[in-house]
Amino acid sequence: MFVPLACVLLCVSPAQAYPLRVTVVLSEEGGAYRAFNRELHSKLADGDFVLTTQTADETPNIPDLYIAVGMKAASKLASSAVPTLSVLVPKAGYDRLPRPDPQHASPHSVIYLDQPLERQVALLLAALPDTTQVGVLHSVPPPELQHVRHLFAGRHVNLHDRAADDSHPLNDTLESLLNESEVIFALADADIYNASTIRNILLATYRKKIPLVGISQAFVKAGALCAVFTTPEQFAEQTAMVTQKFAESGKLPPAQYPSDFEVLVNTQVARSLELQIKDAGQLRAEIRRAQ
Amino acid sequence: MKLHGIERQTLTVAVIPILVLALLLEGYFTYTRFSDMDHALFERAKLIVRQLASSSEYPVFSGNQGLLQQQVDIAFSQQDVNSIMVLDADSRYLAGAGSRPKVGERAQFENLATKAHDLTAFQENSNALWFYQPIATTQIKLDDFGNGDFGTPSNKALGSVIVEIGKDRLNHEKIEILGLNLFMLLFALLTTMLIAMRVSRRITLPVLAMNHAVRRIGEGHLDTRLNPAKVQELDELGSGINEMALQLAQDRNTLQHRIDEATQELRSKKEEAEKANFDKSRFLAAASHDLRQPMHALGLFVGELQTRLDTPEQRKIASKVEESVEAMSSLLDSLLDISKLDAGIVTPQIRSVDVNAMMKRLVQDYIPVAKRKNITLRVHCIEAAVLSDPVLLERILLNLLINAIRYTPSNGTVLLACRRRGDYLRIEVRDSGIGIPEEEQRNIFREFVQLANSARDRSKGIGLGLAIVDRLAKLLEHPLTLRSAPNRGSTFAVTIPRVFGLDELLADSGPGPVVPVAQRNDMDNLRVMVVEDDSLVRTSTAGILESWGCHVSVAENLQDLKEKFASACFDLVVCDYRLPDGDGLMLADHIKNHCEKQPAFILISGDTASEVLQAVKERGHHLLHKPVRPAKLRSLILFLLKSRSEAAAY
């Protein structure tokens, strides 16, 4: 929806008097950041933009627009006086960043790394349409919990949530949750889902033959049943669009979720848990339709 | 000993390098093997503990005791695992197997663990290894975009695993390996020693055989041969020894042959010499017999003649004749004595002898002779008895005295003296004569050697006196010594064992001084039978006996006696030993058989054959050798008569 519109806008709007100086600040070199950077450069290759790439450790120059890629870069440029677009930043992390002084506020915006909850709920319902009981595990009850509950309720699905903290060991909490749920719906909570715990959480769910719907590609690779995610290229495309809008309007859009996405299904896990699940393409199409 | 040395040295040379090499190799390989085993056990233990830590992750996370115990049991079932203990993050015991370590030790392990780099800590002693491994959670990266530092809690260990690995099996295996290695070492050594000994035997055995062979050859077994040896040099040595033995044997045979030849030659020479000596003795015996007959008769005739002459002129001539006869008689006597002594038939009659009396008698007898030469003859003696044959001793002293008087010039001195020398008595005959040069002192005891008589003056004797003295001294075992120098006189001395005590009193003083025939006419009416085939001797013997007052009957031979005097008995029978029809012994036997009163027998022989002397002696008769001097015959007759009368008195 945005993409054709942006194209139209780009096509019709007159060229600016000077090319927009954009500095891409990467949290780290390599990996997904490099793929994102490469894609962004290709999208903004025409003469309207002068793109400079830096890492977060370097002293930034003063451009017309910063594109902070990743949490580290976003943290560094959080108080920047130059308009800054943060990309590939978890919502929880971005929300914790210090807000710039409102009086000297320069436009700051973000494209979250996280997928919108609706899309995740849509995935769960598309992948496991017969689900009636969904479990959610968290450390502190997240603000979006009510929204999620509401979303599930609309589809006649009960949401059970459990908090694991010092007095409630993760395993015990998980065990009790698993007893009530048919599927675990993961939320982006690093206290619960992290590199150390994911294996044991997944093992615990397998033992109960309960699937876990993840929140990223890594979850699926670790053993979650499926997840929606956005590729660096998709992020780059969305970023390019926002940048072009900024070039035209001088304004940054409000914070937004990634617009495009992919679905990844761990067919091995599905087979192990004896689940009949649609393929990734079908699921993606269903989610799109639902949205 | 040296041969042992070869074997020992061969052994040393063979065994020591092998031993050193074997020890080095064994040591090196044993060490590396042990290190490998230690390392393998260590790695395996590490693997077990890590595997257990890994597999315990979920059971510990989920608090699934059953599952945890299952994992522990699986680990515990592995070899060498002595004990296992799984603890939670607060070091509370969750599961385990085997013996539990004490709480203090646990803390120790945890301390170790904090220091270890790879979280695996261990402790070990000789019996066991203890491993400590924290149970860490498996890290699975969930952040695609490297926002890892955001919101990720530190990776806390879920608990820990302590595994004790026993070294018993390892130690046992080590001991087995060590034992096997030692066995192999020993085996290698023994094999080497056996081979070395076998090789060295190949040298030592031939060497021993050679040693034996050389010793045997040295002992004279020249037929000893060596077998070929297996070692080339020893074989050459062995054949050298064989050749040497062969050569020696040949040389010895040649030598033996020569010795045999020489011996044969010597034997024949000796036989010749013996034959010559025998011939000489026979000649001497025959000659003396033939000489004796006329000498005997002559002496008797002269003796009778002296009694019948009237004028002093005639008597003087008769006296000269008698002197000549006397000289000839003594010459014959001496020859006879020498032949008797050489025949070895003189047996000394050792008894106690009164030396003093004997010496005084001798001196008394020779004082007239000495006076004629104007020589002072002295005797100096002590009262002593010696152990000797009185007759033979007197003969020694007599000969020495005659010798001394003969070789002492006028106005000289001859001393007969005796001295004690411990248990012996030394009798010396000392003269102031011409002396004997030292180089001649040994020769004078040989027959017919006379110093200072190159003209062979018979009045100076014939040179048998000292030869007889020497033979007699040797027979009696009286050492004879001579001390003399030219013109300084001579001293002959004999050393004789002394007798002490009763024997001294009973000492035989020998025959008394010769009494002149005329002074004792005991022979008056003595019935004498003279048997003699030689008419000259028979007539002369009968004549002198009759001149001494005897009633003499004569017979030519045994037959004649039997015919003429079949039943007659006599006081004395004087008989020639050799008769035409028998001998004197047969005649004596004949007379003894028919006479109640046994007559005395005097056998007169011209024969010096030793068997005759022996036979007569055995019968207890008296034998006189021709020529018999009248004085001697008379003395013997008187002696026999005296013995008889003494025997009759008892």
pLDDT of residue B458: 52
Q: Are B285 and B610 in contact (CB under 8 A)?
A: no
Cβ distance A133 to A157 under 8 Å?
yes
d(CA B437, CA B452): 11
Pairing of strands A20-26, A49-55: parallel
Give the whole-angstrom CA distance, residue A244 versus residue A49.
9
| 3-class secondary structure, B530 | strand
Question: Would you place residue B510 in the very low, low, confident or very high pLDDT band (cuts 50, 70, 90)?
Answer: very low
| A93–B151 CB contact, under 8 Å | yes
First to last CA, chain A: 12
Q: Which pLDDT value is given to residue A81?
A: 82
Is A171's CB within 8 Å of B61's CB? yes
- When the pLDDT of each residue in chain A is averaged and rounded to a whole number, the result is 86
pLDDT of residue B344: 63
Q: Give me the sign of the Cα torsion angle A23, A26, A27, A33.
A: positive
pLDDT at B338 over 80: no
Nearest to B606 by CA among B295, B322, B391: B295
List pLDDT tens digits, range B455-504: 555 555 667 788 888 888 988 889 999 988 888 888 999 999 988 765 55
Closest CA to B450 of B403, B391, B519: B403
Q: Does the predicted TM-score (pTM) go above 0.80?
A: no
Residue B60 to chain A, least CA–CA distance (Å): 10
Confidence at residue B457, expressed as pLDDT on a 0 to 100 scale: 55
Residue B236 has pLDDT above 50, yes or no: yes
Subunit contact A218:B137, Cβ cutoff 8 A: no
- Residue B437: which of B483, B486, B482 has the closest Cα? B486
In contact, B538 and B511? CB cutoff 8 Å: no
Which residues make Cβ contacts (< 8 Å) with residue A50, sequence separation at least 6? A19, A20, A21, A22
Q: What whole-number percentage of chain B has pLDDT above 90?
A: 10
pLDDT-based confidence at residue A5 (cuts at 50, 70, 90): very low
CB-CB under 8 Å, A204 with B145:
no
User: A105: pLDDT confidence band, cut at 50, 70 and 90?
Assistant: low
pLDDT at A16 over 60: no
- pLDDT score of B514: 36
Q: Do B142 and A216 touch (CB under 8 A)?
A: yes
Test B140 with A222 for CB contact under 8 angstroms: yes
Cβ–Cβ gap A199/B140 under 8 Å: yes
Q: Which residues contact A148 (CB under 8 A, 6 or more apart)?
A: A117, A121, A136, A159, A185, A187
Give B83's strand partners.
B164
Higher pLDDT, B339 or B430: B430
Q: What is the pLDDT of residues A192-246, one digit of tens each?
A: 888 888 888 999 999 899 999 998 888 998 899 999 999 999 999 999 999 998 9
Residues 6+ apart with CB under 8 A from A83: A64, A65, A66, A106, A107, A108, A246, A252
Residues of A with CB under 8 A from a CB of B: 27-28, 31-33, 70-72, 88-90, 92-93, 113, 169, 171-172, 175, 190-191, 193-200, 203-204, 207, 216-219, 222, 229
pLDDT for B502: 53
pLDDT-derived band at B520, boundaries 50, 70, 90: very low
pLDDT for B461 equals 61
CB A191 within 8 A of CB A139: yes
As a whole number, the mean pLDDT across chain B is 81
Set of chain A residues whose Cβ sits within 8 Å of the Cβ of B145: 27, 31-33, 70, 88, 113
On the question of pLDDT at B512 being above 70, the answer is no
Q: In terms of pLDDT, which residue wins out, B481 or A56?
A: B481
Calculate what percentage of chain A has a pLDDT beyond 90.
45
Q: Is the Cβ–Cβ distance between B583 and B561 less than 8 Å?
A: no
A200, A217, A235, A269, best to mutate vs chain B, most B CBs in 10 Å: A200
Q: What is the pLDDT of residue B149?
A: 44
Convert the pLDDT of each residue in B269-317 to its tens digit. 999 988 887 777 667 666 666 777 777 788 888 888 887 888 888 888 8
**Would the CB atoms of A199 and B150 count as touching at under 8 Å?**
no
The per-residue pLDDT for A286 is 92
Residue B153 touches chain A, beta carbons under 8 Å: yes
Contacts A32 to B, Cβ<8 Å: 144-146
Least confident span in A105-109, B181-185, B384-388: A105-109
The answer, yes or no, to whether residue B406 has pLDDT greater than 70, is yes
The pLDDT confidence band at residue A68, using thresholds 50, 70 and 90, is very high
Nearest-CA residue of chain A relative to B57?
A: A200
Is 50 exceeded by the pLDDT of residue A15? Answer: no
Show Cβ contacts of residue A186 under 8 Å, excluding neighbours closer than 6 positions: A137, A193, A212, A213, A214, A215, A219, A224
Give the pair of three-digit tokens for residue B126. Answer: 């000789």
Tell me the residue ranges of DSSP E strands in B141-297.
159-166
Task: Please answer yes or no on whether B142 and A200 come within 8 Å at the CB atom.
Answer: no
For residues A126-140, give the mean pLDDT.
92
